Copies of this chain bind each other. A is one copy, B any other.
């Protein structure tokens, strides 16, 4: 469509099967995640909320992941930095804001859990906890259920580089390998686990671990969202066609402190951080769209205005929203409708 034609054939996104609209949509989602994330940081600094944890510069690859998946059928098991991922899956800024403010209407947990603990059955986003890596065997379980039921679902799960050293990573991957389950394991390797640089977490390459489970392991540059899209799409393809799991290691970098409770300059230099800030792929991807004739500064200005409005609105709504009533604070330890078995 649009001013398509022969020129478009040369574009990377087209070759990957991404329509112009989707390529642009990806950008908008990345930018929405970025601005939401920045607002979260501001809110914490302003004392409006206690805590924020950031995914800044990890969003382009997160969004690319989301766009490579089938929102109707697949299962999503994100980790706490995945704002870009969950926004690409249909979670709204308002919902995220409700979670940031821990309000009762928050669909993730009714304000019970910390922000960044996503979950929405409607969006097929699986409820997550804080102890890292427990979601990896869960993803394998979702994939197992899909296989048993003959459903066309693929499970995709993300986790950090530090988290890949937990036993549950090993056990969840190996199980999926044995049974050739439709699951994609994604390590967002941002080269830190709180204060610990990658070399204190492991001497191996995380992607290489797949070899020991008998499935492909692929390392991909997180600053190249189209490449991430390609790799995840192919992994999805393999999974959906019965060829089993894939481990993907997305190379990225954590440019913020671990969370607002952390002072990262206690363990790394500003120079190191700045170096990586310079590699931010958000402006690069924007330029790509501009060069492809799909984006302009006018559109950018309009987008920024829209995003600001969305975030302002979400923020205002969430700030004013009510906490879960204390009468309800202890509900749902068990099912309330007694089943037959109770």
Show the binding face of A for B, using Cβ within 8 Å. Answer: 165-171, 174, 177-178, 180, 199-206, 208-209, 211-215
Contact = CB atoms under 8 A, between A and B. Distances in A.
B211 A199 contact: no
Nearest to A133: B167
A166 B171 CA distance: 6
A204 B167 CA distance: 17
A171 to B, nearest CB: 5
26 contacts: A165-B171, A165-B174, A166-B167, A166-B170, A166-B171, A167-B168, A167-B170, A169-B170, A170-B170, A170-B171, A177-B202, A177-B203, A177-B204, A178-B199, A178-B200, A178-B201, A178-B203, A202-B212, A202-B213, A203-B213, A203-B215, A204-B213, A208-B211, A208-B212, A211-B212, A212-B212
Contacts of A178: 199-203
Contacts of A169: 170
A212 B201 CA distance: 12
A29 B174 CA distance: 37
Question: DSSP class of A's interface residues: helix, strand, loop or mixed?
Answer: helix
Contacts of A199: 178
Copies of the protein in its oligomer: 2
Nearest to A207: B212
A23 to B, nearest CB: 34
Contacts of A213: 202-204
Contact of A202 (B174, B200, B203, B204): B174
Given A174-B204, A204-B213, A205-B212, 10 more contacts: A165-B170, A165-B174, A167-B168, A178-B200, A178-B203, A202-B212, A204-B211, A204-B214, A206-B212, A208-B211
B177 A167 contact: no
B214 A211 contact: no
Given A167-B167, A170-B165, A170-B169, A204 B212 contact: yes
A214 B169 CA distance: 17
A287 to B, nearest CB: 36
A170 B136 CA distance: 15
A337 to B, nearest CB: 36
Contacts of A214: 202-204
A177 B205 CA distance: 12
Nearest to A215: B203
A37 B174 CA distance: 33
A39 B180 CA distance: 43
Contacts of A165: 170-171, 174
The list of the 3 closest CB pairs from A to B, nearest first, reads A167-B167, A203-B214, A209-B212
A280 to B, nearest CB: 29
Contacts of A167: 166-168, 170-171
A212 B206 CA distance: 6
Nearest to A199: B178
A305 B292 CA distance: 87
A166 B166 CA distance: 11
